[in-house]
Structure 1
Amino acid sequence: MRVLVLGGSWFVGRVVVEEAAGRGHDVTVFNRGVTAARLPAGVRRVVGDRESAADVRSLARSGPWDVVVDVSGNVPAVVGQSARVLADVAERSAFISTISAYREWPHAPVDEDSPLWDADPDHDPGTRRWDPDAYGPLKVGCEIAWHEAVGPQRLLVLRPHVVLGRYEYVGRLPWWLKRMRRGGQVLAPAPDRAVQPVDVRDLAQFLLDRIEQGDGGFFNVAPRPEATAYSAMLHACMSVTAASAERPAELIWVDEGWLVSQGVAQWTELPLWRNAAAPWAMNVERAHAAGLQCRPIAETVDDTWAWLRDGGRAVDHERFAEHGIAAEKEAAIVRRWLARLDRVGEVSWPAPLRTPD
């Protein structure tokens, strides 16, 4: 099968390329060539910018392809321009979207039929800087742009929850791993809250499985909500870093409401934590019925740590700097929490509050 990947050097795209090449597919990658990622043997790179209509038309002359996989589309107008040209040289298309496409997330459970953000497939915000408030609507606009260019029968859309694993450029799991390696008292929220991060390898495998089966439509991609807890993720990070830790780590479990009152930025200062009604309530039964397999969080943590330990580093991206709480701020909050625990009768939040292992 001939596969064209738009992107292919960063995180999800890189793993998709590795998976497709490993299955014996004829893979072409189209990107600007800015990131010096090593492509698997036999993968062809076409250098160009999808924002350039001339570059996209030149790319089309390298076709045809059985499928074009868009992992890099974020601007609807740019995606629409690419999609209209490539629609004539690819039989099918696949677009990687996001859970942020759902208007009610993270405040209510979502499934594939939940309301999406209003979006314009011709919109161009004029800036390429990361904007968390615009991200969801922009991705919906990209979905619509592909839909209008190729039609529903030729389009597969995946909406993954948070994606973790090697090559991650956002910095969520790498921050937790490095924090555990530093050790000491670690500020930790929500031990019993279920989490649904999906391993990048599982996302790529599911994508290629659906492509090979000729499937279209929309799929939410993540483990089932009951698969793991926040505490299991943090304990896995502690476990893999223990041998090289500067000192033993001690998890200090803190009440979520109190943590919000201390001004901790949700989702970023303590990565993957959000004190909302349903941040991890994504219905994924459609994908699991179609064959999605999700590995335990410990395997994702172990593989990411192995990548970091072997010298892996994320590509430069502005979102990486957003993640992680300053050591001084963390220590001050821990001191205030432990002092609060010592004042008998003032704390009603149940154990476990401190976890030394």
Structure 2
Amino acid sequence: MKLLVLGGSGFVGGAVVAEAIHRGWAVTAFNRGRHGAPPAGVRHLLGDRTAADGLAALAEGEWDLVVDTWDGAPRAAQATARMLAERAGHYVYVSSGSVYARPVPAGVTEQAPLVTAGPDDIDDDYPTLKAGAERALRAVLGDRVLLARAGLILGPGEDIGRLPWWLNRLARGGDVLAPGPADLPVQYVDVRDLAAFLLDAGAAGRAGAVNVVSRPGHTTMGELLTVGVTATGADARLRWAEPEQLLAAGVEPWNDLPIWIPPGHEYRWMQQMDVTRAYAGGLSCRPVTETVVDTWAWLRRVGSVPARAGRPARQPVGLDPDREAALLAALTTDRPPPVPSR
């Protein structure tokens, strides 16, 4: 198989390249070259999709499959697809569950309405950019494009830092503020399982939209953090707090305490997505222990979470240590948790 990865140096793109190399495929990566060279044996094409002549390096060549990780202007996705339409057998676009229009119901399927977005848009928020790119690619490629709407993505190489934040926090030991309930179901996909699915589905010519994430309840907050304690080997003690306590103290789910989305929260659907189509199409998700252990091994090797390829720096995730300490103290004394000043 001849594969073209549009991106290839970031979290998901890097995993796709690695999986394709493992399969013995002929891999070409097209990107701006700002995050290092691709692995040995990968053909590297340089270009900037936001520049007037940025696609020149793609003017020649044919590929059996294209995997596109773009999250910028839909117009750029559209221009790339038009250039490659006659020279690519099939196309896979790494989209996101964020494309669904609010309010999103629990168990959301691929048929749910999307946020309003245009294929010619040049700037907007993340959900709109992804939805606009989906429209652009459908218009150009029709039934030759698979729209992989990924949910929460974890695993080695994570460049947002959600699971790495938890692992670093657990490694420091001591009392750790753990957001309850401990049996809260968590739905995510390991980036390596996502990459394997993208290549399998692309090679099979699957098309249309598909939610790509584990089944709801693949793990729980309790299991995830307990496995993290074991993996880091730290003397960490999980101190569970009820969601109501944390929310009353102004703790923001997903950002202050990564991965956690409590029951009843407006974004709880993000860990309750319907994945019938993905599993029917061959998605397989490894145990949470493997994801956590491998992420910790990778994090110790690289030292810190890498910058996000091609994207501006974002505010770090996770609670400030002083704020966590104050919340833990409030739990110990049964005092009302402190509300941060705004």
TM-score, length basis structure 1: 0.87
- Alignment match, 1:90: 88
Pick the aligned partner of 2:203 from 191, 212, 218: 212
Report if aligned partners of 1:68, 1:92 keep a CA contact under 8 Å in 2: yes
- The alignment status of 1:250 with 2:259, answered yes or no, reads no
- One-letter code of the match for 2:30? F
- Alignment match, 1:348: none
Cα distance in 2 between the residues matched to 1:241 and 1:105: 38
Tell me: CA distance 1:178–1:105, structure 2 relative to 1, closer, same or farther (3 Å).
farther
- Alignment match, 1:164: 154
- Alignment match, 1:327: 321
CA shift for structure 1 position 60: 2.7
- Alignment match, 2:36: 36
- Alignment match, 2:46: 47
Question: Mean Cα displacement is larger for which, 167-176 or 312-321?
Answer: 312-321
Report if aligned partners of 1:105, 1:279 keep a CA contact under 8 Å in 2: no
The one-character-per-residue Cα deviations of 1:213-240 (angstroms, maximum 9, x if unpaired) are 1211221111111321111111111111
Report if aligned partners of 1:75, 1:142 keep a CA contact under 8 Å in 2: yes
Q: Following superposition of structure 1 onto structure 2, how do residues 7-18 of structure 1 map, counting pairs within 5 Å?
A: 7-18=7-18
Pick the aligned partner of 1:148 from 123, 129, 139: 139
Report if aligned partners of 1:104, 1:110 keep a CA contact under 8 Å in 2: no
The one-character-per-residue Cα deviations of 1:123-150 (angstroms, maximum 9, x if unpaired) are 1127xxxxxxx21121100111111111
Cα distance in 1 between the residues matched to 2:40 and 2:148: 27
- Alignment match, 2:79: 81
- Alignment match, 2:340: none
CA shift for structure 1 position 320: 5.5
- Alignment match, 1:355: none
The one-character-per-residue Cα deviations of 1:210-266 (angstroms, maximum 9, x if unpaired) are 122121122111111132111111111111101xx3xx1111111112201101122
- Alignment match, 1:192: 183
Report if aligned partners of 2:65, 2:203 keep a CA contact under 8 Å in 1: no
CA shift for structure 1 position 113: 1.1
Cα distance in 2 between the residues matched to 1:107 and 1:182: 38
- Alignment match, 2:274: 283
Shift >6 Å, 4+ stretches:
none
Please report the RMSD computed on the Cα atoms of aligned residues, expressed in angstroms.
1.8
Q: Following superposition of structure 1 onto structure 2, how do residues 217-232 of structure 1 map, counting pairs within 5 Å?
A: 217-232=208-223
Cα distance in 2 between the residues matched to 1:171 and 1:227: 20
Aligned positions, number: 328
Report if aligned partners of 2:29, 2:44 keep a CA contact under 8 Å in 1: yes
Q: Which runs of 5+ in 2 are unaligned?
A: 337-342
Cα distance in 2 between the residues matched to 1:231 and 1:8: 34
